[in-house]
Amino acid sequence: MRNQLLKTGEIGVFALGGLGEVGKNTYVFDIEDQLFIVDAGILFPDEHLLGIDYVIPDYQYLVENQERIVGLFITHAHEDHIGGIPYLLKKVEIPKIYAAGIAVDMIENKLLEHSDIKPPKIEEYKSYYKFSFKGVEISFIRMNHSIPDMFGIVFRTKEGILFHTGDFKVDYTPVGPAAEYDKLAAIGAEGVLCLLSDSTNAERDELIPSDSKIGKSINELFSRIEGRIIIATFASNMYRIQQIIEASVLNGRKVAVFGRSMERAIDIGMQTGYIKVPKDYILNAEQINRAKPHELTVLVTGSQGEPLAALSRIANGSHRQIKAMAGDTVIFSSSPIPGNQEGVNKTINKLFRLDVEVITHGPLADTHTSGHGAQSDLKLILSLTRPKMFIPIHGEHRMLKTHKELAIEVGVDPKNILVMDNGDLAAITKDSIRLAGKVTSGEIYIDGTGIGDIGSQVIRERKMLSEEGLFSVVLSINSETKTLINDPTVVSRGFIYMKGNEEITASLSNHVKKMALGELGKKMFNEQTLRQTIVDQLGQIIYELTQRKPLIIPIIVDLK
């Protein structure tokens, strides 16, 4: 069924994730009553989402319109673009997944972990491929990013060309193949109706160093270090992993790998040819102990201070095989993602306590560069493609707003730019762009094996428990005789220490007793009303006594 918010001939564009946030990128193009999904990512939760593993978009709109879905088109293999695929496939029937190079292997590997999914066919595309659908031709433009095989997606429609950049930066000396700037200029000359472009670094007015420069910097660092090197980076950054291996080989070091995601990334990288390692240069756990410190590089996960990652366990002294010692040098080949700074700092402090040398990215050592373009890169893409209309994507709201200003500087008419939120529907024709309304969108929390069974109410309760604690009161009653069998029992966890606070707990117990007797004395006694009365009245009394609001749980045992 066609989208009723769109007029005949209009193209619909909306995001289920990726706008107002950095993560869960899921964009949908509604063209000729067909739905083209671009990416299906996850968002890693911040500290207020207690106990949540991942956040995915609400796929309800896709469930309701699945007969119109043509396929899922993947720009590249980062988790915020492919991590949601298994959860999407559990909800929606996708006819085909279109992906390139290493993304195919990463997706196949990911789907193996979900035995309850019957995966659709994965069609591998290359940069010169074209796919034709009803009134739409899709083609691809290679871009540069921190992972191989990153492609922007071109939609040729009756109304004009729409171009979705995916994640990118402008790198004139990339580690892998060069970006296809000639194709960008060609679609610009042909005329781009609407550009959707990555806004992650829209606020940064600086030159983002080339990945090849980081490779030279890492090699130079390795040549100066005499002891054992422990280096942490993102498992998804294939180019960086290859640079670390090359620097190790050049400096006569063998490589040991720790961390499940890092081991898997290296396996996939070696299978696809993106990671090349001389024979016998990757050591197993037994061989590590026989290697001399100056002949060893330990490549680990944990560059973001993740508590269970290999580097954090090394810093804690809880890693089974690697113990940090004086003479070791730990290198962070990454920058902290916003929100992770505290975890990274904790890890660094623990390493300093072990008398270990720590090198992080900064003015003295180039150990990392962003995979996202800064302002000059974004302006270059805008200048090459010369879009009539513009929708900034992939970023928090302030990043999208800044990207809008950059587009205006380059000459895009402000009336033709939409800064949107997830669920906002843009309606586009060759002459106009407008906000047509909203489609169903939202967040679904993944907690262990549960998908969507944790709602905002549960998160609020977890937050309350973590900050204010729990106060429970157990009542034994007889609803037939309308009597209280014994005095209420009070249980406190994380609220007050019961020993030493007997006066408060006795007072609260008496208040509950009065409430219970009052409710039992009523002609129409109702257990639910008693519970609610205890929660409401006890909450006020506790707040007046302690200025705190614990989670109150009344437990009523009816012994009639």
pLDDT, tens digit (0-9, with 9 covering 90-100), for 347-397: 999 999 999 999 887 666 778 788 899 999 999 999 999 999 999 999 999
164 and 57 belong to one structural domain: yes
Q: Which of 46, 12, 53, 21 minimizes the C-alpha distance to 453? A: 53
Task: For residue 15, give the nearest of 198, 173, 181, 182 by alpha carbon.
Answer: 198
Q: Which of 149, 198, 377, 447 is catalytic?
A: 198
Helix %, strand %, coil % of the chain (to 5): 35, 25, 40
Is 81 among the residues known to form the active site?
A: no
161-164, strands of its sheet edge to edge: 130-133, 136-143, 150-156, 161-164, 192-198, 389-393
Cα dihedral sign, 19-145-378-431: negative
**Do 308 and 428 share a domain, yes or no?**
no
498 pLDDT more than 60: no
What's the whole-model pTM score? 0.82
Local confidence band at 457 (pLDDT 50, 70, 90 cut-offs): low
Mean local confidence (pLDDT), 322-347: 84
Would 326 be classed as within a structural domain? yes
Count how many domains the chain has.
3
Q: What percent of the chain has pLDDT over 70?
A: 92
On whether both 261 and 281 belong to a single domain, the answer is yes
Whole domain around residue 331: which residue ranges? 211-359
Tens digit of each residue's pLDDT (9 = 90 or more) over 71-119:
999 999 999 999 999 999 999 999 999 999 999 999 999 999 888 898 9
For the chain, give the mean pLDDT: 88
C-alpha torsion sign, points 128, 381, 18, 430: negative
End position of a domain, from candidates 336, 359, 382: 359
At 81, which amino acid appears? H
Same-domain pairing of 344 and 436: no
Tell whether 337 and 403 lie within a shared domain: no
Residue 402: predicted pLDDT: 97
CA distances from 284 to 148, 294, 363 (A): 27, 17, 35
Same domain, 130 and 275: no
Q: Which amino acid is at 549?
A: K
Q: Does residue 5 fall inside a structural domain?
A: no
- Active site includes 372? yes
Query: Of 359, 388, 417, which residue sits at a domain end?
Result: 359
Whether residue 4 lies inside any domain: the answer is no
Once rounded to an integer, what is the mean pLDDT over residues 134-161?
97
On whether both 113 and 252 belong to a single domain, the answer is no
Give the confidence band of 131 by pLDDT, cuts at 50, 70, 90: very high
441 falls within a domain? yes
Q: Which amino acid makes up residue 480?
A: E
pLDDT number for residue 190:
96
Rounded to whole angstroms, the Cα distance separating 221 from 328 reads: 13
Residue 92 lies in a domain: yes
- Give the residue among 538, 419, 412 at the shortest CA–CA distance from 470: 538
- CATH code where residue 71 lies: 3.60.15.10
- Residue 408 domain flag: yes
Q: At 142, which amino acid appears?
A: R
Kindly state whether residues 430 and 513 are assigned to the same domain. Answer: no
Placement of tokens 């673009």 in the chain? 81
**Which residue bears the tokens 């980076």?**
233
Identify the three-state secondary structure at position 352: helix
Which of 121-130, 137-146, 181-190, 478-487 is the least confident region? 478-487
Q: How many Å apart are CA 76 and CA 239, to the nearest integer?
A: 14
Q: Tell me, what amino acid is at 342?
A: E
What residue has token string 């060069």? 178
**Helix (H, G, I), strand (E, B), or coil: what is residue 468?**
helix
Beta bridge partners of 279: none
CA distances from 243 to 168, 250, 277, 362 (A): 20, 10, 11, 18
CB atoms closer than 10 angstroms to residue 545: 12
Strands (DSSP E) found in 85-179: 96-99, 121-124, 130-133, 136-143, 150-156, 161-164
509, part of any domain: yes
Tell me the C-alpha to C-alpha distance, in Å, between residue 488 and each of 478, 499, 546.
13, 17, 20
Report the pLDDT value the prediction gives residue 59, as an integer from 0 to 100: 95
Same-domain status, 234 and 168 = no
pLDDT at position 338 is: 61
Shared domain for 190 and 217, answered yes or no, is no
- Do 49 and 195 belong together in one domain? yes
Q: What is the pLDDT of residue 178?
A: 95
Provide the token pair at 478.
């007889």
Among 160, 245, 185, 183, which residue's Cα sits nearest to residue 432?
160
What pLDDT sits at residue 120? Answer: 95
Q: Which of 145, 372, 394, 403 does the annotation list as catalytic?
A: 372
